[in-house]
Structures are given as C-alpha cells and as structure tokens.
C-alpha cells in the first residue's frame, strides 16, 4: 500500500505543536495524550502539503517515536 511521506516541514510542525501542547499540560508521565496527536494532525492538514497516503493521528504518534 501507499505510505505517508513525511517532509522536514511536517517534523517542524510536529515539534511546534508538541511544544504548545506541553505548555497546556497535555503531556502525561507515559507520553502524550491522544488529543495531542489530533491537534498535530489538524496542524499538518492545514499547514503542510500532503504527500503519499493520508496521515492519521496514530501515524503522527508513530512517526514522532521514530524521529525523536
């Protein structure tokens, strides 16, 4: 199947949104709350050009664990 393609701009958006969400207190001891990945996805959908398969909130979390 077709895979999502992650661009450098996508990573920059993820880092920015995670910083914003951390300041809002949306990070738990076990990691990020599910709502954070939805916020990341919304930002990606509005600010980034889509390449490859559509991204999901779950893909965002998996991608972050891979790149961090």
User: Is 80 exceeded by the pLDDT of residue 1?
Assistant: no
Tell me whether residue 47 is in a domain.
Answer: yes
Domain count, the chain: 1
**Rounded average pLDDT over 4-8:** 92
pLDDT band for 22, please (50, 70, 90 cuts). very high
Tell me whether residue 20 is in a domain.
Answer: yes
Tell me whether residue 13 is in a domain.
Answer: yes
- The pLDDT tens digits for 36-57 are 999 999 999 999 888 889 999 9
Tell me whether residue 2 is in a domain.
Answer: no
Chain centroid, CA 4 distance in Å: 12
The pLDDT value given to residue 2: 84
Distance CA 14, CA 6 (A): 11
Range of the domain at 19: 8-65
Distance CA 57, CA 25 (A): 19
Instruction: Give the angle subtended at the CA of 11 by the CAs of 6 and 15, to the nearest 5°.
Output: 155
Tell me whether residue 41 is in a domain.
Answer: yes
Tell me whether residue 1 is in a domain.
Answer: no
């Amino acid at each position: 199947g077709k895979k999502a393609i992650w661009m450098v701009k996508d990573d920059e958006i993820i880092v920015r949104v995670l910083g914003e969400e951390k300041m809002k207190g949306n990070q738990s001891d076990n990691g990020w709350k599910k709502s954070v990945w939805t916020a990341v996805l919304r930002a990606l959908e509005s600010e980034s050009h889509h390449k490859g398969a559509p991204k999901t909130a779950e893909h965002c979390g998996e991608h972050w664990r891979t790149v961090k």
